[in-house]
Amino acid sequence: MTRPIVWAFGITAVAAIWAVGLAERFDRSALTSAAVGVPPADARSAGAPFRPNTETLFADSQGHFATEAVIDGRRLRMLVDTGATTCAFTYEDAERAGLSVSERDFRLPVQTANGTVYAARVRISAMRVGNIVVQGVDGMVMPRGRLSTSLLGMSFLKRLNEFSMNGGRLTLRG
């Protein structure tokens, strides 16, 4: 007769200890979230995990990752290119973004698949991709007609905390 009572008491004790540990972890998590400015769960969008400064890009049918970058309030379509040392802008995109260059600025020799081209150096004060903002990004403007799409290169990507590719997704973490 005493055996079931001892067994029930043991299970109740284990459940109580587990509940106390769970409550302590919940309190610690709430304190940490408040300290780093993470909004409470009810303030986040339903169903979407909250990831500050994270942007996920999906590969197109050719396996390329395209994104929209914002420079001084102007949106530019750019291809992510980890092989590009700096961000490279078409002449037309540079004009649209307010990156003014003159003919005498085209003196940076750049090796391309079609030979040497002279580009103009630029520095972008702030560049945003999704909710990630990078300040002081080096770039170059290519001469008119020498680049078909602007490239989001390593001068932006290396300033992130991390970027990784997995299963057709490219995740950028600011």
The per-residue pLDDT for range 127-144, each reduced to its tens digit, is 999 999 999 999 999 999
**How many other CB atoms sit within 10 Å of the CB of residue 88?**
26
**Are 34 and 61 contained in the same domain?**
no
**Are 60 and 11 contained in the same domain?**
no
Residue 115: CA atoms inside 13 Å, Cβ hemisphere, count?
0
**Are 157 and 132 contained in the same domain?**
yes
In a domain, 165, yes or no: yes
**Are 125 and 160 contained in the same domain?**
yes
**Are 136 and 82 contained in the same domain?**
yes
**pLDDT over 50 (residue 70):** yes
Residue 26 lies in domain: 2-43
**pLDDT over 70 (residue 159):** yes
Residue with tokens 């307010």: 98
Residue 17: CA atoms inside 13 Å, Cβ hemisphere, count?
6
Q: What is the pTM of this model?
A: 0.70
